[in-house]
Amino acid sequence: MEGINVLPLFVFSLFVSLWMRGHCQNDTAIYIVTLKQAPAVHQTGFVKGFASSEINNGASGATNTLNKPNRNASRTNTSYGSRLVHLQNSLLRKVLKGENYLKLYSYQYLINGFAVLITQQQADKLARRREVANVVLDFSVRTATTYTPEFLGLPQGAWVQEGGPDVAGEGIVIGLIDTGIDPAHPSFSDDFCQSNYPVPSHFSGVCEVTKDFPSGSCNRKLIGARHFAASAITRGIFNSSQDYPSPIDGDGHGTHTASIAAGNHGIPVIVSGHHFGNASGMAPHAHIAVYKALYKSFGGFAADVVAAIDQAAQDGVDIISLSITPNRRPPGLATFFNPIDMSLLSAVKSGIFIVQAAGNTGPSPKSMSSFSPWIFTVGASAHDRIYNNYIVLGNNQTIQGVGLALLPSAATDGDSMYTLISATHALKNETEEVNNLGECQDSSYLDQDLVKGNLLICSYSIRFVLGMSSVKQALQTAQNVSAAGIIFYMDPFVLGFQLNPTPMAIPGLILPSADDSKIFLKYYNDSLVRNVTSNSIVKFTGVAKILGGIKANYSSSAPKVMYYSARGPDPEDNLIANADILKPNLIAPGNSIWGAWSSLGADSAEFQGESFAMISGTSMAAPHIAGLAALIKQKFPNFSPSAIASALSTTATVNDKQGGPIMAQRAYSNPDLSQSPATPFDMGSGFVNATAALDPGLIFDLSFDDFFSFLCGINGSAPVVLNYTGLSCNVSNMNGSDLNLPSITVAVLNQSRTITRTVTNIANDEIYGVSWSPPYGVSVSITPKKFSIASGQMQNLTVVLNATLNNSSPSYGRVGLYGSKGHVLTFPLSVISKIIYNSTVS
């Protein structure tokens, strides 16, 4: 693979340091400045690889089947992009003549602008220039398998349709914007490829070469790798010892998500010497390009993320997967108008399918962290594989726990019961009062003679969540004092934290419920025999045994929406308005997911030094969809991003394995006790059906022009749209419900609304019948109720909604299209507020 050498971090850091020392001002900050002149993608139509831009005189670009930009349009050179950079530099020199500033990035492909370190006064100067469209303060962002291929039916379904795992995803490039990658991991080796496995010709990316990421790190599987950290370095928060100025993954998160999307097939998952099965990505023969813009110690910043998105689009990726979300809701006219989302809109114009994690801010309504209709937003569900272990107390009470005990016998021996001893009651006589002794982080304070052969009780406090204490260290403590096993009870202040099964080299578990922890502690405390006079403990009579923890069990209640998965409705702005857009779009496996782990990974202390880790979050759900999108793109290379989204959405299931409704957890504490049937604002269209998505029958398609008209239809948006795209709005009355999405969402139904949906037949000629269930408080009619559609033809569906009562609570219905040749498509109807005409005469 082609490599490039990068400027050493210390050189850039020294330059920044010297600049700051000479020009330090209190209001200096990083701003993202966009210019009114159109970026390359809007100037040239569709561009795959900036070095070979395609020119089209029309603003919408040349298109072919299903609004997909045409890769065969005429080509030009890089002169337009070079001219944009020249104009940016000229503007800075002219406006800030004789003043000090530091330009960090030039954006030229998806947006025309730059990131620059300047003062507030300088930002105001730039904002007043007629060439300048927008000046936005940089903001922070954050990060939000062995079995899931089987759970999704890939080995018997989608992979078979593609020709097996050895070719699934072939020719497709997935770009991941994350914390980097460990190139030495076998999940990303190309040694497993027996057949011809060329780098796709439409990809032009390169691999950085650094001390941490030497020449040869890339191959035919991992075909691109860069890092972006100028904003973080300029702020002085970049820690080179743990963040690494290279594409290498010092966190673990990026390696994990890359392996979920496109890791090699059949890689043994071995943790602490135990074999947990074989891992595979969703599209094991797809190619990976990595754009590192997130870091262990601080997360990331929009200026770096936008640079990464811009580069990925220039390089020619087919899919962008972002397991990241902003730390705050974007301010301004609408949530859609922010540098990240608008860059992604331009990426969609160039034919790139965008997947983003919904965020881990659930279960409250309107907690969504992914906003725009051109982004495919993925929530997290549980799958059916669970690792159960539990304790049985001396009074025969059983309490469920979390743990992966890694012994041949994963539990305490046989039916034997073991004495329970809390770390706080096992201190050496001379031990003085020391904070956090109950967390079992230091064996030197414990009396080995007292603990030996017994079960050590430790507190799982907020310090474990913050990384100040670790299960691994507590296990070492237990081993140092020869404990038979270890039990962690949950501190009541640790609320809403998702615990993953944790590797334990001795029998052990964590009680994840604060309520169960209270039951356990009550039993323990009641069992203590104390001296009546001194209240000192005379005898420990509480006993327990640990069972389970290494063999997976399979639940019939999956999938279900996890409590942490962010929920709709989609917030239209920073106030209370809801958008006529369904979010999330879909749910996918995100809980307790095995994935590759970086050898330098420090994000999960429990898996440090391991080659695989089991972690949870919508960050894990998004790359599942990125990989499945690659399979669709492979089968239907002319599909637009919206066509891929439609195939995934209309074929999703709303039922669990038992045939009942998918459930959604609705509380942090004891989430399984708070479940109720999931709504579209919990799960979008439903749970992804990988095999059905490869044969959807009909497609709801959209182009860039449709999204552009939607943005122009937002009251007062014309200047903002021009700012980001360089394109002028015509008069538009389009709202979110008018977009040809595979869903209908109405925030306010004021008496009546008529909505049109258009389907395109990508299969053979077929006859479809239409049926529906209306939302509560709404009458629905759809015409036609039956239609015949030839291959390649389109059919309009007219949907009329009438409010039948005044109500402000969301209600839901569903529309089904049932084909004579077996195709079944469904999509959700969601109406929030209903208002009927008041005919009362005074």
Which residues are marked as active site?
A: 178, 253, 619
- Among residues 338, 309, 341, 307, the alpha carbon closest in space to that of 104 is found at 307
CA distance 664 to 442: 40
Residue 675: partners with Cβ closer than 8 Å, 6 or more residues away: 560, 663, 664, 665, 666
CA distance 374 to 351: 11
In this structure, are residues 57 and 47 in contact, taking their beta carbons and an 8 Å threshold? no
Residue 131, judged by CB atoms within 10 A of its CB (0-12, 13-18, 19+), counts as middle
Residue 97, judged by CB atoms within 10 A of its CB (0-12, 13-18, 19+), counts as exposed
3-state secondary structure of 133: strand
Q: At which residue do the structure tokens 């076998």 appear?
A: 186
Report CA Rg, the chain.
28
Give the helix/strand (H/E) hosting 831: strand 824-835
What DSSP letter does each residue of 181-195 carry, written as one string? B-TTSGGG-STT--S
Virtual torsion, Cα 302, 305, 307, 308, nearest 10 deg: 180
Give the helix/strand (H/E) hosting 515: helix 514-527
Which 8-state DSSP code applies to residue 576?
S
Strands 404-405 and 503-504: parallel
- Among residues 351, 372, 352, the alpha carbon closest in space to that of 61 is found at 351
In this structure, are residues 218 and 224 in contact, taking their beta carbons and an 8 Å threshold? yes
Buried b or exposed e, range 273-312, using 16+ CB within 10 angstroms? ebebbebbbbbbbbbbbbbbbbbbebbbbbbbbbbbbbbb
3-state secondary structure of 126: helix
